[in-house]
Homo-oligomer: A and B are copies of this chain.
Amino acid sequence: MSKYWSDRVHRLTPYLPGEQPKLPGLVKLNTNENPYSPSPKVLEALRGELGAGLRLYPDPNSERLKTTIAELFGLAGDQVFVGNGSDEVLAHAFQALLKHDRPLLFPDITYSFYPVYCGLYDIDYRTVALDDDMAIRVEDYRPPNGGIVLANPNAPTGRLLDLAAIERLLANNLDAAVVIDEAYVDFGGESAAPLVRRYPNLLVIQTLSKSRSLAGLRVGYALGQAHLIEALERIKGSFNSYPLDRLAAAGAVAALLDRDYFEHTRQQVMATREWLREALQQRGFRVIPSAANFLFARHPDHDAAELARFLRERHIIVRHFRLPRIDQFLRITVGQDEECRALVRALDQL
């Protein structure tokens, strides 16, 4: 507390990211990182940027990266926005598109940064309960509202909405911006990006942190019609002219262009997820169907916090949220095969 703080600072409750412990030999299944290295072509592109050019500002518009993304999705350059991780892109979207007189809607169980953004920008919001199977019912999201934000697949549940459901949501809420946060969509979902051309209210947000193995590089992007992208650009241009450094932009381009590596590693993550799901179910866990690179699971006989502690003592860390409805679940990132086997071996010691 300090008399120098603005009113807003006094009222904030910041987001708590998953921990990043620096212990060797740790099986780190707590922050949904990709278990595989970035593409060798990314590392090559980064090496190519290491030189005197770093003394110069980056392109403030990240044109090359925007063009790469636009071509990947069959969109125009002015239908793409890029930022310093999808968290920054989301923050700008909340400020630019989701703050209105009517309340913003999002699920009661979802990415816990959403209410934090609402605190930062003083956005009125209502949460909409997931059903008893932890699924989003799009019919529960109805006008009047000031916007909707959904993670698809949802986090931390991993549950997916199909594209038909997303389209119903968009059609039913044409007066409000609908933000679909697709951080995990490449692990089994279908992106809403092809709907951008038909729905003026749709903003799709993706990240390179998960399926492109670049959490350490901080690149996210948004896809939408030009009028929505312009709103984000106006915020960005009033906040920070150069959110993407030269290395991040170059690495991101290389990652998006290496389709083979992307395809190979995401298939591998999905295969390991299915193996781990079965292994957990065989050991009595109830596992929510997941289209993400993590599983959300509970055990009828073991308290989740105690389970997390038990695993941590064995140098395996998973994420446990002390939140209503989900405090008996663990969110387990899909690691490499050997990491998942280590998890299962530890559970067998229970």
A120 to B121, CA, bound (A): 11
| A71-103 vs B, Cβ < 8 Å mask (1 yes, 0 no) | 000000000000011011001000111111000
In chain B, what residue has the closest Cβ to A236? B14
B14 touches A237 (CB 8 A): yes
Between A38, A96, A245, the greatest number of chain B beta carbons within 10 A of the residue's beta carbon is seen for: A245
With a 10 A CB-CB cut-off, give which of A50, A120, A176 has the most chain B CB atoms: A50
In Å, the complex CA distance between A46 and B234 comes to 32
Q: A238 in the interface, Cβ–Cβ < 8 Å?
A: yes
A31 to B53, CA, bound (A): 14
**A175 contacts the other chain (Cβ, under 8 Å)?**
yes
**Residues on B with beta carbons closer than 8 Å to the beta carbon of A243:** 84-85, 88, 218
Residue of B nearest to A58 (CB): B216
Check if A227 sits within 8 Å of B4, measured CB to CB.
yes
**Which of A38, A98, A119, A201 has most chain B Cβ within 10 Å?**
A38
Residue from B2, B7, B54, B120 in contact with A235 in the complex, judged by beta carbons closer than 8 Å: B120
In the complex, how many angstroms separate the beta carbon of A87 from the nearest chain B beta carbon? 5
**Closest residue on chain B to residue A53 by CB atoms:** B216
At the interface, is chain A mostly helix, strand, loop or mixed?
A: loop
> B6, A98: Cβ atoms under 8 Å?
yes
Contact B241 A17 (CB under 8 A): yes
> How does the 8 Å CB contact mask read for A222-255 relative to B, with 1 for contact and 0 for none?
0000011011011111111111111110010000
Please state if A91 and B8 are interface contacts (CB–CB under 8 Å).
no
Contact string against B for A residues 116-156, beta-carbon threshold 8 Å, 1 for contact and 0 otherwise: 11011000000000000000000000000001000000000
Tell me the complex Cα distance, A54–B88, Å: 19
Complex contacts, A51 vs chain B, CB 8 Å: 37, 43
Known: A213-B54, A245-B248. A238 touches B99 (CB 8 A): no
Nearest residue in B to A101 (C-beta to C-beta)?
B7
Assuming the contacts A97-B4, A239-B88, asked whether A214 and B12 have C-beta atoms less than 8 A apart, the reply is no
| A205 at interface by CB-CB < 8 Å | no
In the complex, the chain B residue whose C-beta lies closest to that of A57 is B215
Does A271 lie at the interface of the complex (its beta carbon under 8 Å from any beta carbon of B)?
Answer: no
Does A164 count as interface, using CB distance less than 8 angstroms?
Answer: no
Interface status of A279 (Cβ within 8 A of chain B) = no
Check: A264 CB closer than 8 A to any chain B CB: no
Inter-chain contact B240/A96, CB cutoff 8 Å: no
Chain B residues whose CB sits within 8 angstroms of the CB of A85 once the complex forms: 240, 242-243
CB distance from A325 to the nearest CB of B (A): 23
Expressed in whole angstroms, the Cα–Cα distance for A242 and B235 within the complex equals 19
Q: CA separation between A34 and B53, bound complex, in Å?
A: 11
Contacts of A96 in B (CB 8 A): 5-6, 8-9
Binding site for B on A (CB under 8 A): 1-9, 12-18, 20, 22, 28, 31, 33-38, 42-43, 46-47, 50-60, 84-85, 87-88, 91, 95-100, 116-117, 119-120, 147, 175-177, 200-201, 209, 213-218, 227-228, 230-231, 233-248, 251
Could you list 7 further interchain pairs (A-B, Cβ under 8 angstroms) beyond the known A6-B99, A8-B235, A84-B243? A2-B230, A2-B231, A6-B95, A8-B96, A33-B55, A34-B55, A46-B247
